[in-house]
């Protein structure tokens, strides 16, 4: 089996784990905005970049880099290996994802952009382990998908990795908001920020250049009193 064949198997595994919905989305997570360019790389039509395997494995630390490069061991680390040989990244996964009790619509200085921010606690939810953190979301613009006071699990992505149609936390100098991002057909340099609750809120149009940070909303935890 060639390196490229093992890479394809790892990509299929990532899709099965819902890290991405399809091969094209994996390419975008790795920085390939062009579907054809990514296809040429994984099919061996162009040489693999030196850091390609490292970037691929960074999407989920369960993938065994040595298996991809040398076909040694298994594609996925055995569970015991993670428990007995934890490094910084694996230790973070064992703790769970950090929860910051901050209103991100009011400010974002406490989001995890360095090692000085201390979370209130950790959430142990296996489906969200590849998220950067969890924060509360306030407001009615995204109901019923995201209710006022719900907790959102988020992961920071680059602008090139944004998938129109998904919900994101968007941060600019002027505001912070959680909205669905959609393409602006008449201007590729802008995005439409679309609320779910269109009865009470209007959509906005924003210049991509004004966005400071963007976080994909990968999960929602709703507080519901029964």
3-state secondary structure string across the chain: CCHHHHHHHHHHHHHHCCCCCCHHHHHHHCCCCCHHHHHHHHCCCCCCCCCHHHHHHHCCCCECHHHHHHCCCCCECCHHHHHHCCCHHHHHHHHCEEECCCCCCCCCCCCCCCCCCCCCEEECCHHHCCCCEEEEECCCCCCCCCCCCEEEEEEEECHHHCCCCCEEEEEECCCEEEEEEEECCCCCCEEEEECCCCCCCCCEEEEHHHEEEEEEEEEEECCCCC
CB atoms within 10 A of CB 202: 9
Contact assessment for residue 211 and residue 171, using Cβ atoms and an 8 Å cutoff? yes
The pLDDT, as a whole number, for residue 80 is 37
Tell me the pLDDT of the chain (226 aa) as tens digits: 899 999 999 998 888 878 888 888 999 998 888 888 899 999 999 999 988 999 899 888 788 889 999 988 888 875 433 323 333 344 444 567 888 887 765 444 445 544 446 778 888 877 777 888 888 988 889 988 888 888 999 999 988 888 888 999 998 888 888 999 999 989 999 999 999 999 999 999 999 999 999 999 988 888 654 4
The tokens 């950090």 sit on which residue? 98
Reading phi first (left if > 0) and then psi (alpha if -120 to 50, else beta), residue 100 is in beta
The pLDDT, as a whole number, for residue 175 is 80
Level-2 CATH architecture, domain 97-221:
Ribbon (2.10)
The pLDDT, as a whole number, for residue 83 is 28
The pLDDT, as a whole number, for residue 88 is 38
Contact assessment for residue 217 and residue 135, using Cβ atoms and an 8 Å cutoff? no
The pLDDT, as a whole number, for residue 104 is 65
Q: Bridge partners of 121? A: 99
Q: How far apart are CA 190 and CA 197, in angstroms?
A: 21
């Amino acid at each position: 089996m060639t390196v490229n064949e093992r890479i394809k198997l790892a990509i299929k595994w990532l899709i099965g784990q819902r890290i991405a919905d399809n091969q094209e989305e994996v390419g975008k997570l790795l920085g390939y905005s062009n579907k054809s360019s990514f296809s040429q790389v994984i099919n061996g039509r162009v040489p693999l970049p030196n850091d390609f395997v490292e970037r691929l494995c960074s999407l989920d630390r369960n993938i065994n880099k040595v298996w991809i490069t040398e076909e040694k061991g298994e594609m996925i680390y055995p569970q015991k290996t993670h428990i007995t040989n934890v490094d910084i990244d694996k230790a973070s996964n064992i703790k769970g994802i950090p929860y910051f009790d901050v209103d991100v619509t009011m400010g974002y200085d406490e989001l995890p952009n360095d090692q000085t921010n201390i979370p209130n606690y950790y959430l142990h939810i296996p489906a969200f382990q590849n998220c950067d953190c969890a924060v509360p979301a306030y407001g009615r613009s995204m109901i019923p998908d995201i209710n006022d006071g719900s907790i959102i699990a988020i992961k920071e992505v680059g602008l090139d990795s944004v998938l129109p149609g998904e919900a994101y936390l968007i941060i600019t100098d002027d505001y912070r908001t959680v909205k669905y991002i959609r393409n602006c057909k008449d201007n590729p340099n802008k995005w439409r920020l679309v609320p779910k609750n269109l009865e009470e809120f209007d959509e906005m149009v924003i210049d991509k250049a004004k966005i400071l940070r963007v976080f994909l909303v990968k999960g929602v935890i709703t507080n519901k009193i029964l």
